[in-house]
């Protein structure tokens, strides 16, 4: 699903943020990415969800070598990835419903085809009564749940989440992890960057840790 070989990353002429990162995410796997702030977690995720090209090394995504993939092939790869951004990145002028429906609209689906799925998902994350609310009127936790619903609504092949439970209470955090686990059970490969030790221990999934831009495998066994 995802293969990194000796990947290095630096922004412009700055120092290397990632050094010789090598790992494989097998299809259908569930992995946590941990590390202190500034260790390079977000940069690593950006490379996976195709927000940045690497400075060096080889990345293979869905069996495609990104170094040789044409730019026109990238949008289709991106649509196979669901991303929960740390800062949510919701569109403030759209309702919660329309934010969640965005990946389905990008996939060319009609509102009549997806309206029910979107409503069910919003109800599942506890926002059934806030569907028509704009993000600025939602709390941080509610916005995070909209962001998560948007990332999973199209049943992506790969789900990447950057601190997805940072703004919700433990009960909602557990509920969201169940959502990720359910998606994983249905075949989605999941990679979650988090500081939440409780979450990691509960899920008992593989853990990769970034230390000063280098990747350390802490726990290889899947749950």
Residues near other proteins (CB under 8 A) are: 49-53, 75-81, 83, 89, 91, 93-95, 97-98, 101-103, 105-106, 110-112, 115, 132
Closest distance between other proteins and the C-beta of residue 168, in Å? Answer: 22
For residues 12 and 4, what is the distance between their CA atoms, to the nearest angstrom? 21
Q: What is the nearest approach in angstroms of other proteins to the Cβ of residue 212?
A: 25
Q: In whole angstroms, what is the distance from residue 208 CA to residue 43 CA?
A: 14
Minimum Å gap between C-beta 36 and other proteins is 26
- To other proteins, the closest distance from the beta carbon of 219 in angstroms equals 30
Q: SS3 for 83?
A: strand
Whichever of 34 and 99 has its CB closer to other proteins, that residue is 99
96 vs 208, beta carbon nearer other proteins: 96
Phi and psi for 9 in degrees, rounded to 5?
A: -145, 130
Q: Whole-number minimum distance, CB 190 to other proteins, in Å?
A: 18
Cβ(203)–Cβ(30) below 8 Å: yes
Alpha carbon distance 89, 146 (integer Å): 10
Give whichever of 193 and 205 is closer to other proteins, judged by the CB atom: 193
Nearer to other proteins, 70 or 171 (CB): 70
Residue whose structure tokens are 């899947």: 222
- Nearer to other proteins by C-beta: 53 or 170? 53
CA 185/CA 14 separation, integer angstroms: 40
CA 55, 58, 63, 67 torsion-angle sign: positive
In whole angstroms, the minimum distance from the beta carbon of 105 to other proteins comes to 7
Cβ 34 vs Cβ 194: under 8 Å:
yes
3-state secondary structure of 158: strand
Q: Which is nearer to other proteins, 79 or 175 (CB)?
A: 79
């Amino acid at each position: 699903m995802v293969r990194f070989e000796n990947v290095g990353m630096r922004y412009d002429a700055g120092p290397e943020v990632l050094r010789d990162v090598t790992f494989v995410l097998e299809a259908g796997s569930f992995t946590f990415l941990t590390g202190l702030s500034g260790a390079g977690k977000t940069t690593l995720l950006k490379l996976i969800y195709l927000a940045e090209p690497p400075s060096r090394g080889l990345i293979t995504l869905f069996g495609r070598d990104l170094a040789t993939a044409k730019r026109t092939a990238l949008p289709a790869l991106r649509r196979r990835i669901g991303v929960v951004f740390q800062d949510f990145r919701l569109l403030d002028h759209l309702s919660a419903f329309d934010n969640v429906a965005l990946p389905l609209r990008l996939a060319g689906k009609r509102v009549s085809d997806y309206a029910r799925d979107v409503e069910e998902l919003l109800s599942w994350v506890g926002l059934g009564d806030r569907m028509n609310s704009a993000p600025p009127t939602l709390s941080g936790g509610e916005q995070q749940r909209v962001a998560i619903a948007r990332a999973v609504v199209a049943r992506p092949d790969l789900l990447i989440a950057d601190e997805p439970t940072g703004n919700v209470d433990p009960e909602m955090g557990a509920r969201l992890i169940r959502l990720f686990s359910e998606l994983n059970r249905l075949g989605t490969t999941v990679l979650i960057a988090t500081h939440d030790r409780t979450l990691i221990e509960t899920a008992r999934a593989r853990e990769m840790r970034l230390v000063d831009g280098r990747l350390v495998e802490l726990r290889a066994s899947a749950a």
